Amino acid sequence: MATVLRFSRILQHLRGIDCSKSKAARAGKLLHRHAPCATLWRNHSIYTTTKINPDEPTFDKILIANRGEIACRVMHTCRLMGIKTVAIYSEADASALHVKMADESRCVGPAASRESYLNVDRIMEVIRETGAQAVHPGYGFLSENKDFARRLTNEGIIFIGPGTDAIHAMGDKIESKILAKEAGVHTIPGFDGVIKDETEAVKKANEIGYPVMLKASAGGGGKGMRIAWNDDEAREGFRLSSQEAASSFGDDRLLIERFIDNPRHIEMQILADSHGNAIYLNERECSIQRRNQKVIEEAPSVFLDEETRKRMGNQAVQLARAVNYITAGTVEFLVDSQRNFYFLEMNTRLQVEHPITECITGVDIVQEMIRVAKGYPLQLRQADVPINGWAVECRVYAEDPYKAFGMPSIGHLYRYQEPKNIPNVRVDTGIQEGSEISIHYDPMISKLVTYGKDRQEALDLMSRALDHYIIRGVTHNISLLQDVIAHPRFISGDINTKFLPTEYPEGFKGLQLNKDNEAMLAAVASCVFVKDLWRAQEFLNQTRILPIPTKEKEWSLSVTVAGSKHDVTVSKTDSGFKVSVGGSDITIDGEWNMAQDIITPTINGSPCDLQVISHNATGAIQLQFKGTVFPMSVLRKEVAELQALMPEKVKPDQSKEVASPMAGKVHAIDVEVGQKVYEGQEVCVVEAMKMHNSLSAAATGKVKAIHCAVGDNIAEDDVLIELE
């Protein structure tokens, strides 16, 4: 009971809830019951500052037609409002976090999305079985499916989203662009019709003028989008984008428009109710992207002045009013260097990056969506919307950032720990230690959000939070996130949607060490090596009888870091170690524990956060520094001298092999055995997380063997095609 009261008092303090009311008391009990899973509300104070009125009638039960972090996020607010929740799940998600958090749960089919999370008939059955009064769709899946919304309405179930007419109007990029023009919203020059085939794509591209953007009319999330700079790319872009659109949305229609070079991607969050009220909750800067998918977002934008913000916000509201929009939505714009802005699309749903808007405005967007769906007016007016502080969101993905800035990685999370003891950190996630990242769904692990009084404080907190984020079992993109937020251009706010390919033209290679950091890592690795020697020599404080002397006070070592060898001398001191690397002395305290995943040694008087990925007494050590994992070799000097005499292993020539850079499914094979192919020619297409990836030959040759078939599931680095 004490724990329940403690949660209720926290809620009372943060949200002004009267704990004597039954809804608030029930919310406290729900928090207590689900506390082991409930990472979302660990730092609830940076969620929102809006209050919940316990006397305001609301839904008794809501079904969340989604999975992962967004399902957990919606459950978080439902719990605070005293609303029961129903989770749906696929067979692959039977042990998922959102299933554990819900009051009830039902399986809706096999792992494939089309047979489960897109299985409308089965979801409707679950709604009837559980007596859910409303459905929150989250984002993706059925969130912008007008037919699903219409079926719910026909059966008397409330869809916590816009009306079907608004979904149809704004969900179709062609129609939405026409409506935006009519509503007085600035739009991008282009062709407003549907592109029929590759020939028409080339014709319209030449009429508009290169570069052009081909995009799925019914798309979103960066899927079904390609930039074309010439006729050949227009043909290929049409083919791949239409295939991707059909696979992701069941609709292969494409539109084409002028590609605005070097733009910023800035969007406006809006809220509207059925009483004629519509407001904007200011902007989010979403320019750091890869393959048209956002990676880092922040609110507000460093680029907008108050006048431009107001004009963009007012146009977003104009568009919402033009389509009788109700609930939360986002109007996305491209903004050029002169602050000219152009309508891109409207997302008729909750946006992935909504948490940063909640941080700077104090508005619980999910709560407002539920209230609006119940028929209540918005709790605030435009003049009530503040910009308090700064918020930054990093999307933490199970991806390999060294492959095209992020190819999906699958695996079992055998170790998972979110940042601890860092203020103003919010982690929205749908996974926990032991979860599986599979090929079936988006590879997002979490949305990591930090909030500060200004941008620099928010970025400093983000850097610390990323340092303290422990993820083992899959490859992740923390190294890229760390590198971007520390980049001078990003810090200055000089960013656009081409930031990643411009700043990393050869691809991301990880943190590039300077001389001081290289010496520091060599010193820390040497101390790890010495501590391992001590641990090998002692057991339960009893010295083992080993050939290695146990009373050493100095060690001469050879350390290899990032391909560079360093002569290192380690001396034991009363408080730790004195390490000489290349003639420079580094002092390291000895109070850090080798059993910890994160070590925080004090180096030359300054604390440093490092993760120990692996280590052993043989000297094979991996340290994670600023997100990048550095494999290092630490050897005694005499051992290193002998190793130098060993012959080097010759790397095999892999130019005649086409291997998959990610796990996925073979979508198409474009060659046959005996066919001659040329360097750069597409040989197959792999689908991973609903994205189509074209694989090309690295050299000219004849196809010797094909080791896969269309529809095969493949693993990362599987050889698909051999050349001779």
Catalytic residue numbers read: 345
Are 268 and 282 spatial neighbours (Cβ–Cβ below 8 Å)? Answer: yes
- From residue 628, alpha-carbon distances to 81, 588, 619 in Å are 41, 21, 19
Report the alpha-carbon distance of residue 271 to residue 291 in Å, rounded: 29
Torsion of CA 55, 59, 63, 67, to 10 degrees: -30
Q: What share of the chain is helix, strand, coil (3-state, %, to 5)?
A: 30, 30, 40
Question: What gap in Å lies between CA 334 and CA 660, rounded to an integer?
Answer: 34
Residue 504 exposure: Cα atoms within 13 Å on the Cβ side: 21
d(CA 213, CA 344): 11
Q: How far apart are CA 573 and CA 178, in angstroms?
A: 74
Show the CA angle centred on residue 37, arms to residues 34 and 43, nearest 5°: 95
Q: Is 505 exposed, middle or buried (0-12, 13-18, 19+ CB in 10 A)?
A: exposed
Q: Is 548 exposed, middle or buried (0-12, 13-18, 19+ CB in 10 A)?
A: exposed
For residues 658 and 188, give the distance between their C-alpha atoms in angstroms, rounded to a whole number: 39
Q: From residue 539, how far is each of 529, 543, 554 by CA, in Å?
A: 17, 7, 22
For 442, phi and psi rounded to 5 degrees? -55, 140
- C-alpha 220, offset from chain centre: 15
Q: How far is CA 694 from CA 35, 136, 153, 450, 680, in A?
A: 44, 35, 41, 36, 10
Query: For the residues of 544-593, what is the DSSP string, one character each?
Result: ---SS-S---EEEEEEEETTEEEEEEEEE-SSEEEEEETTEEEEEES---
Task: Tell me how far apart the alpha carbons of residues 476 and 443 are, in angstroms, rounded to a whole number.
Answer: 10
Taking each continuous run of H as one helix and of E as one strand, the counts in the chain are 19, 43
Q: How many residues does the chain have?
A: 724
296 residue type, one letter: I
**Tokens at residue 160, please?**
């916590």
The dihedral through the CA atoms of 527, 531, 532, 537 has a sign that is positive
Report yes or no: 77 and 366 within 8 Å, Cβ to Cβ.
yes
Token pair, residue 140, equals 């993706």
The pair of structure tokens assigned to 664 is 């996925």
- C-alpha 557/C-alpha 640 separation (Å) is 8
Instruction: List CB contacts of 149: < 8 A, sequence separation 6 or more.
Output: 159, 161, 162, 163, 164, 167
